[in-house]
């Protein structure tokens, strides 16, 4: 067993160990700290994987695309656990959740982590599907964790739509097997992603197109493409903020990752053109609808959720356009959006606990009342709106260039969507930062959330806007070559 294999085994076994261990810890204070510690060891294992990767097997494979996302996922899971330390302690103090439910939280959170890692390192279309489904099931209960009327509704909706989406994705997976089976023979070979990709040029394009449609609609439900997005704003708004951060920053990425694995298969086939057009169509519609919806939000977390739909739309357009420019823009957007949006949910969580409300009309004049919070809150919003120096600016400009190069109309529509979304975000932000302060009931419990995770996210997002480190660039180049 080489070092790469050890890293892989560590990455997949640490969440299990962590989950089992934390299930036995009754004291909330200790459990929250331990959880962050475990998440950090997972991050180390993920980093190790980036330095030494194992040989691909029929079940698992670590390639450049995987490595663009595995350390990122582990990092955000770690910072989310760090953020939860203050956030959940406050929820327990105020009685929003019971201390004894914290063990369930930790077990489910680690199951989610495990399934996300498994999806990222899988080399088998079946295993990938199982992993995405596991992630869905683990997060359903986390979304409904507050057990309020609204949280239950959101979780139920998420569960139904998520399950239906995942069922469609399975049908797509089966069709992919059907298309590969005549070439690779029966059994595991025809489910091994790297083998399927090798023979994709000879596969029946009509069957491949059909498979991609099902994958797009199935995984697209989890990504939150319009009109399959109905669960997304509710789930983000009603889930505890650490969960909203993980949903937006990580789970949407995982679903997108699975879809892009499908697109990589099509890339070598004549069916590739249809996959591109469909992605551009879904992406553009999601972007424009979400941008318009952003203007009329009254709830802070719903605003952020719609912004996620907007950014998923941008990625759809970017990967749809493809080519070196488009795929680069999409990948960079994917990475930076994860950092920015989960950071933004940290900021939102802190604001909500400080003011005791998530209504935008009640969040006014933060710069006067909570200047320190307001700086990070404002910076995170500006990053999500796509202002320089943050990475989303870089990726959106690159995408605009790529889109205009493909068709002037596409560039125009994209620019319109981006501008509306930008205006909406800035409009909402200015009121929250500089508006006339309103009287909110004073907080009953002190909020002790660390600002370090958010600051870290913003710092990395800013660095990625200016330059891409050599190692990450190497991984991205591999992925771009495969995306076609």
CA dihedral for 181, 183, 189, 190, sign (positive or negative): negative
In sequence order, the 6+-apart residues with CB closer than 8 A to the CB of 243 are 139, 142, 143, 145
Triad 283, 287, 292: Cα angle to 5°: 155
Length of the chain: 484
CB of 423 to another protein, least distance (A): 20
CB of 324 to another protein, least distance (A): 32
Comparison of 93 and 204: residue with beta carbon closer to another protein: 204
Comparison of 106 and 297: residue with beta carbon closer to another protein: 297
Comparison of 169 and 334: residue with beta carbon closer to another protein: 169
CB of 387 to another protein, least distance (A): 27
CB of 239 to another protein, least distance (A): 12
Comparison of 238 and 396: residue with beta carbon closer to another protein: 238
CB of 102 to another protein, least distance (A): 18
CB of 362 to another protein, least distance (A): 8
Calculate the alpha carbon distances from 88 to 29, 32, 49, 78, 103 in Å.
Answer: 10, 8, 31, 15, 12
Contact 350, 447 (CB under 8 A): yes
Binding site for another protein (CB under 8 A): 126-127, 129-130, 133, 137, 140-141, 144, 147, 149-150, 152-153, 155-157, 159-160, 163-164, 167-168, 170-171, 173-175, 177-178, 181-182, 185-188, 190-191, 204, 206-207, 209-210, 234, 237-238, 297-299, 302, 359-362
Comparison of 172 and 316: residue with beta carbon closer to another protein: 172
What whole-number distance in Å separates Cα of residue 435 and Cα of residue 454?
24
Comparison of 271 and 479: residue with beta carbon closer to another protein: 271
What whole-number distance in Å separates Cα of residue 28 and Cα of residue 15?
19
CB of 133 to another protein, least distance (A): 6
Comparison of 263 and 297: residue with beta carbon closer to another protein: 297
Phi-psi region of 23 (alpha: psi -120 to 50; beta: other; left: phi over 0): alpha
What whole-number distance in Å separates Cα of residue 300 and Cα of residue 302?
6
What whole-number distance in Å separates Cα of residue 59 and Cα of residue 171?
20
What whole-number distance in Å separates Cα of residue 315 and Cα of residue 309?
10
């Amino acid at each position: 067993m080489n070092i790469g294999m050890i890293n892989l085994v560590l990455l997949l076994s640490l969440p299990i160990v962590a989950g089992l261990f934390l299930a036995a810890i009754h004291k909330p204070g200790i459990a929250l700290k331990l959880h962050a510690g475990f998440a950090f060891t997972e991050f180390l294992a993920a980093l190790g994987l980036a330095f030494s990767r194992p040989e691909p097997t029929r079940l698992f494979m670590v390639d450049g695309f995987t490595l663009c996302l595995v350390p990122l996922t582990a990092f955000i899971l770690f910072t989310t656990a760090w953020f939860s330390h203050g956030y959940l302690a406050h929820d327990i103090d105020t009685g929003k959740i019971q201390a004894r439910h914290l063990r369930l939280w930790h077990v489910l959170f680690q199951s989610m982590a495990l399934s996300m890692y498994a999806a990222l390192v899988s080399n088998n279309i079946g295993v990938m599907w199982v992993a995405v489904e596991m992630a869905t099931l683990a997060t359903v209960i986390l979304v409904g964790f507050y057990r309020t009327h609204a949280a239950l509704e959101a979780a139920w909706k998420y569960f139904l739509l998520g399950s239906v989406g995942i069922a469609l994705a399975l049908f797509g997976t089966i069709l992919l097997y059907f298309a590969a089976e005549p070439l690779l023979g029966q059994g595991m070979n025809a489910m091994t992603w790297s083998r399927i990709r090798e023979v994709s040029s000879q596969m029946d394009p009509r069957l491949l197109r059909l498979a991609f449609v099902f994958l797009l609609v199935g995984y697209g439900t989890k990504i939150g493409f319009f009109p399959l997005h109905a669960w997304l704003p509710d789930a983000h708004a009603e889930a505890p903020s650490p969960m909203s951060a993980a949903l937006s920053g990580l789970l949407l990425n995982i679903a997108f990752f699975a879809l892009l694995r499908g697109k990589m298969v099509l890339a070598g086939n004549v069916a590739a053109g249809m996959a591109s057009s469909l992605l551009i169509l879904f992406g553009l519609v999601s972007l424009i609808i979400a941008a318009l919806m952003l203007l009329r939000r009254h709830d802070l977390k719903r605003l952020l959720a719609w912004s996620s739909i907007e950014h998923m739309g941008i990625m759809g357009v970017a990967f749809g356009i493809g080519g070196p420019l488009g795929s680069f823009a999409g990948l960079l957007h994917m990475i930076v959006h994860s950092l920015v949006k989960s950071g933004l949910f940290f900021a939102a969580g802190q604001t909500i606990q400080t003011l005791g409300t998530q209504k935008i009309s009640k969040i006014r004049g933060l710069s006067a009342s909570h200047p320190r919070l307001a700086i990070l809150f404002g910076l995170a919003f500006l990053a999500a709106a796509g202002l320089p120096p943050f990475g989303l600016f870089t990726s959106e400009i690159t995408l605009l260039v790529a889109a205009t190069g493909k068709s002037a109309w596409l560039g125009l529509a994209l620019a319109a969507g981006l501008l509306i979304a930008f205006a909406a975000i800035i409009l909402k932000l200015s009121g929250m930062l500089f508006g006339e302060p309103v009287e909110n009931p004073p907080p009953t419990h002190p909020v002790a959330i660390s600002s370090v995770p958010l600051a870290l996210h913003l710092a990395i997002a800013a660095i990625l806007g200016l330059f891409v480190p050599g190692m990450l660039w190497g991984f991205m180049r591999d992925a771009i070559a495969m995306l076609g």
